[in-house]
Amino acid sequence: MIDTVVVATDGSESVRRAVDAALDLAARFDADVHALSVVDTGALDTTPDDLRAEMADALDERAEDALADVAERADGPVTTAVREGRPADEILSYAREIDADVVATGTRGRHGENRLLIGSVAERVVRDSPVPVLTVRRLETDETEEAA
């Protein structure tokens, strides 16, 4: 039984299908929806001091916009939260705190050395999650057109 679905969003196009899948899953099970956006504070570490506050505000605004998008697209109420920190850590922590039954997240196709050195948020969430994780990849443009 699925009672609580967490959807992790950064507002990017690559996450839109994951949001749709999470909302559909929640509707099918009449589950509570929690939308979470994580402000990656690591991005601020390399920002010059004189721009850090402006960058932090922009990241907070983007997170709030991402959550508003989920709430607008949902048929029912959505609990929203913004966290700061490492995205995978915060998603896992939030899922544990609210006793989630499933976490939904998008994937991004990172290739090459960058992926090997840094890893992906979705990969880390899948590896360390105490609950099932629904990962949804973004369709390529030509796949989207064929599906329409």
| Residues contacting residue 20 through CB under 8 Å, at least 6 positions apart | 73
Q: Is the pLDDT of residue 117 over 60?
A: no
The predicted model scores a pTM of: 0.85
Question: For the segment 65-111, what is each residue's pLDDT rounded down to a tens digit?
Answer: 999 999 999 999 999 999 999 999 999 999 999 999 999 999 873 33
Whether the Cβ atoms of residue 44 and residue 52 lie closer than 8 Å to each other: yes
pLDDT band at 13 (very low <50, low <70, confident <90, very high): confident
Q: What residue ranges do the domains of the chain occupy?
A: 4-147
Rounded-to-integer distance, Cα 53 and Cα 93, Å: 26
Q: What architecture (CATH level 2) is domain 4-147?
A: 3-Layer(aba) Sandwich (3.40)
